[in-house]
Amino acid sequence: MPMTDTIRRIALVTGGSRGLGRNTVEHLARRGIDTIFTYRSRRDDAEQVAAEVARVGRKAIALPLDAGDSAQFDAFVEQVRRSLADFGAERFDYLVNNAGIAHHESIERTTEADLDALYNVHFKGVFLLTQKLLPLIRDGGRIVNLSSGLTRIVFPGSAPYASMKGAIEVLTRYMAKELGPRRIAVNVVAPGAVETDFSGGTVRDNPEVNRQVAELTALGRPGLPDDIGPMIASLLSEDHRWVNAQRIEVSGGMAI
């Protein structure tokens, strides 16, 4: 049931203009939650998301951010403060660290530049941005970090990406422990293969890859954004207030 404005809840979602991030923002709106979300360069996509949120009677503010450039973070936090003032708030309730980049290459062929880019977005960026946003998160709030089914399911060519996500899973448990005194629950969601434009839309647009994923999945198909966004929105709700420090895979039973 949507929350009323008298108990307004606000989420911050990185990488919210496309794919799983967009789906999460839209499902949060349907639950009565307003959102500040980030986009990297596609302002047109961000405007579409904000318009969709407005259609269900909520508000979303889009802010530009390169999640791999920590030099932007201080200025971004100030933008968040100003955006919260637009909501009539000083704090927000939920942080979803979703922004990411894809990489598929063998260990042998991965360059130092490739590894640095993955590290900057998937670990350093998550660590430092969360650190800088902590003063703006309400006590009793929640954080969801995004990992990947690839931390459990080994596909050659995914080692660098999966290793960064593995680090996020460890970081999530430490966040949960250290933020426990503030009653901030921290969990990690690990999607399986999903039909989005991530990684060039490989799962969505390549029939052979799509078939292989379907054969590996107990429920017989790849995931869809609508399989993930509602789950994240639900995890942030009071229904899951006692779920903490957990890795939750959302893969339809892939490679079991």
Residues involved in catalysis: 161
Dist CA 114 CA 236 (whole Å): 33
Dist CA 125 CA 89 (whole Å): 25
Dist CA 49 CA 63 (whole Å): 12
Dist CA 197 CA 230 (whole Å): 19
| Spatial strand order in the sheet of 33-39 | 60-64, 33-39, 9-13, 92-97, 137-146, 185-191, 247-250
Dist CA 129 CA 118 (whole Å): 15
Dist CA 234 CA 184 (whole Å): 16
